[in-house]
Chain A
Amino acid sequence: MKWLVHWFEGFLLVTIQGTAPERFLNLCRGREIEVWRLKAGPEGCEGYISVKGFRDSRELLKKSGARLKIRKRFGLPFFLYRNRKRKFFFGGIAAAAVLLYVLTFFVWDIQIEGNQRYSDDSMIHYFEDQGIFCGMMKKNVDCDELESSIRSDFPEIIWVSARVSGTRLFVSVKENEALSSIPVPDTEPQDIVAEKDGVVTSMIVRSGVPQVSIGDTVKSGQVLISGLVPITDDGGNVTAVHGVRADGDITARVAVSEERSYSGLKTVEMATGKERKGLFLKAGGIAVQILLPAEKGTSWKISMEEQQLHLTDHFYLPFWWGTIRAKEYVTYERLYTAEEKEMLRKKMEQEFAEKIMEKGVQIEQNNVKILENDQGFSIRWEAVVLESIGAGRPIEEIPVIEENEEN
């Protein structure tokens, strides 16, 4: 920081000549004239002094009998003086300053915070529909209107704040974490049927008539709890049938299996170590990629990092830059090794166990085998699990019982 102040004010490299340069240095210290990076040499003492310090030191030079010989000049005042005839250079600097000033009138970055249900892309797309986009003038951004339109068009967003800071538009939202409406329970009559084949291990019936009992073997599609409740008279005759919405939890022991086949040959990608590096520049809608061309018939993986140019945290500009890195790779096929097969087996076991557990299903038995065949090999996963198999099926027609009146 001090260096910057010196550079703006201008400073000099001087040689202090005379019989007693120490006296001059002590006088400078007393008058608070800064002299730095002093080096004693055969011609005298060499050091740096600010332009203001140089001007103020005339009296001190007389007093101490020393002389200052200017060796070199540094800083902005001297730079401007040296380049005073370079009109285009200063014109360019002025034009750049004007351009920067003009760019501050526009929005060049939109930041959205707090959105979880709605992605950034969908929000930005919505903003575009509302006439808010990167590159528009800041004065045309009506934050209040944007806030109210977000609130009305996104019922899940309960709080929103939009503000323009520098050349960036910040939109903060708070989404409703609770349900926005209470779901209306369906009262249409239904049966509970089995989704899978299995043996019933537990039953809890909340409504309807159970059709099976614990220990029964059931088939997929079989009615487990009937939604048709018969009404009987004193003689035990069915006089009417009422349709209800059958409800209950039925757990069954179910055998599940899954198989994945592999060709036996594994495609391996290996990096050759060759790399190409390039540059990516984008200004407004024009993008340029600078990357040396690759040899024909070679494969490359290309990754790119994009950054937006910004002078401060809030002064973003419509320029993007980034580095491109391409890595050459070759592919070949080879047979799976025993370790790799074992790894695949373990991976499959883990994946399925996680998938099953997510559904709240309990595993009783678990077995994963590698089966060799002519085409390659396959991994077979077999398990016996305890899972809820009941699913609702609407009752299309409720039978009507005709009463036989006996006179």
Chain B
Amino acid sequence: MGRRIRAAAVDTLKLPRDVVLGETVISMEGGSVMVIENYRSILLYETGRIKLLARNGKVLVEGSGLQIEYYDEESMKIIGRIRKIEFQGI
């Protein structure tokens, strides 16, 4: 089933986009804790910057003291002072 058909089905039937289309879900607690689900891989990890590859593009997280608390197949938890979240190539 093509992505277009699936997107149309999601819109019509009001299905969850993250489950059907694999869209990235980002949850935040204030500006210090962030959990990102449905990411594909880590592209870059350096002081103050984490870039992740998602299904529909890239997600760039910028801040200071950024630490990956845990990461696995499904999600990643980032703690630190988060200043910016940028979606690239969407």
Q: Does A266 contact B (CB under 8 A)?
A: no
- Complex Cα distance A83/B72, Å? 35
For chain A residues 1-37, which have a beta carbon within 8 Å of chain B? 21-22, 25-26, 29, 32, 34-37
Please name the residue on chain A nearest to B68 by beta carbon.
Answer: A38
Q: How many contacting A-B pairs (Cβ < 8 A)?
A: 43
Q: Does A42 contact B (CB under 8 A)?
A: yes
B73 and A38 contacting across the interface, CB-CB below 8 Å: no
B45 and A21 contacting across the interface, CB-CB below 8 Å: yes
A45 and B45 contacting across the interface, CB-CB below 8 Å: yes
B67 and A38 contacting across the interface, CB-CB below 8 Å: yes
A39 and B67 contacting across the interface, CB-CB below 8 Å: yes
Please name the residue on chain A nearest to B66 by beta carbon.
Answer: A40
State which of B6-14, B22-30, B36-44, B81-89 sits at the interface with chain A.
B36-44
A22 and B45 contacting across the interface, CB-CB below 8 Å: yes
A40 and B71 contacting across the interface, CB-CB below 8 Å: no
- Complex Cα distance A99/B60, Å? 58
B69 and A25 contacting across the interface, CB-CB below 8 Å: no
- A29/B47 contact (C-beta < 8 A), A22-B42, A37-B67 known: no
Q: Does A293 contact B (CB under 8 A)?
A: no
- Complex Cα distance A130/B71, Å? 63
Q: How far is the CB of A105 from chain B (nearest CB, A)?
A: 44
B67 and A26 contacting across the interface, CB-CB below 8 Å: no
B47 and A41 contacting across the interface, CB-CB below 8 Å: yes
A26 and B41 contacting across the interface, CB-CB below 8 Å: yes
Please name the residue on chain B nearest to A35 by beta carbon.
Answer: B71
For chain A residues 267-322, which have a beta carbon within 8 Å of chain B? none
- Of A25, A42, A47, which one neighbours B42 at CB under 8 angstroms? A25
A25: chain B residues at CB < 8 Å are: 42, 45, 71
Q: How far is the CB of B48 from chain A (nearest CB, A)?
A: 8
- Complex Cα distance A14/B63, Å? 23
B46: chain A residues at CB < 8 Å are: 40
B73 and A40 contacting across the interface, CB-CB below 8 Å: no
B73 and A42 contacting across the interface, CB-CB below 8 Å: no
Please name the residue on chain B nearest to A16 by beta carbon.
Answer: B45
- Complex Cα distance A29/B72, Å? 6
List, sorted by A's number, 11 A–B pairs whose CB atoms are closer than 8 Å.
Answer: A22-B41, A22-B43, A25-B71, A29-B71, A29-B72, A29-B73, A32-B72, A37-B68, A38-B68, A40-B48, A41-B47
Taking A22-B41, A29-B72 as given, write out 7 further A-B residue pairs in contact, using a Cβ cutoff of 8 Å, ordered by the A residue number.
A22-B43, A25-B42, A36-B70, A37-B67, A37-B70, A39-B67, A42-B47
